[in-house]
Amino acid sequence: MMWDPGKYMQFGDYRDRPYFDLTARIRAGTPRHVVDLGCGPGNLTATLAARWPAAQVVGLDSSGQMLARAARYADRLPNLSFSQADIAGWMPTAETDVVVTNAALQWVPGHRDMLRRWLAALRPGAWFALQVPGNFDAPSHALMRGLAESTAWAGRLSGVLRHADAVGRPEEYLEIMLDAGCEADAWESTCLQVLPGPDPVLEWVRGTGLRPVLADLSARDAAEFEADYAALLADAYPAGPHGTVFPFRRVFAVARKLEHGGTGVNAGEPAGNEGRGEGRRKRNAT
């Protein structure tokens, strides 16, 4: 599947904000080795290298297009590098102190089991922070899925979308982290994004969720699918006087591996938790 870094970064402020919400919860002091799984165009990975200048920060991604964009950041920061790899095959080493994965695990089937393996391999004191989109039941995705499953498109798009099991609930990630002997914090938030311009929700999903559909169709069929989908989106997300409101739910979880395999909550003291549900009690999240 081809990626377009420019299209992906079109709504940069809204796409970047969850990354900073996530990484603000990581209380690592002077990590040695930091890994960003599914680093995309690298602009956010670069903020980790700037935050921890003594650490070696590595961004991994399977997309050559994304990594070509990311290379410009590595030229500016001596402790930052990028590598092309399938994150499903990655494992932490004894030197890994911080792992971040932002809006990537939804693309990886079976990532809950992978998360268990990663956490089991982390050294005591290491951190793991994840964020995944939680909008697969939203109209933007439900309409895409319904159209792909319709009589007109099912023959060409069968099995392309895997929305049903793409991500877990906050409670699931919290449970996995606690079971792995971590202290953990899990929460979710919904950002009411006000998008400008014509067909802005279509423009948004062109950068991410729609890409598997477009990759599986000819140019002519892709244009036809987009036209049908755009009409559905216009009804679901009507434009207002200030733009189009596009609510976007996201799921977060942060863990720190404990020294003796105990369980706990609140991986670090939360920073700015107003308006969020927090996983504060053992095995409980909102």
Alpha carbons 21 and 41: distance in angstroms, whole number: 19
Give the strand pairing for 80-84 and 182-195: unpaired
Residue tagged 């002091």 (tokens): 29
Distance set, CA 110 to CA 81, 90, 106, 162, 222 (Å): 27, 14, 9, 12, 28
Are the C-beta atoms of 56 and 32 separated by less than 8 Å?
yes
E strands, the chain, in order = 33-37, 56-61, 80-84, 96-102, 127-133, 182-195, 244-257, 264-265
Reduced to 3 states (helix: H, G, I; strand: E, B; else coil), residue 21 is helix
Q: What residue ranges do the domains of the chain occupy?
A: 5-265
Contact between 208 and 5 under an 8 Å Cβ cutoff? The reply is no
Structure tokens at 98: 């911080």
CATH of domain 5-265: 3.40.50.150
Running DSSP on this structure, what letter comes out for residue 199? S
Q: Provide the residue-wise pLDDT of the chain in tens; the chain has 286 residues.
A: 566 666 666 777 888 999 999 999 999 999 999 999 999 999 999 999 999 999 999 999 999 999 999 999 999 999 999 999 999 999 999 999 999 999 999 999 999 999 999 999 999 999 999 999 999 999 999 999 999 999 999 999 988 887 667 899 999 999 999 999 999 999 999 999 999 999 999 999 998 889 889 989 999 999 999 999 999 999 999 999 999 999 999 999 999 999 875 556 565 543 333 333 444 333 333 3
Contacts of 93 (CB under 8 A, 6+ apart): 33
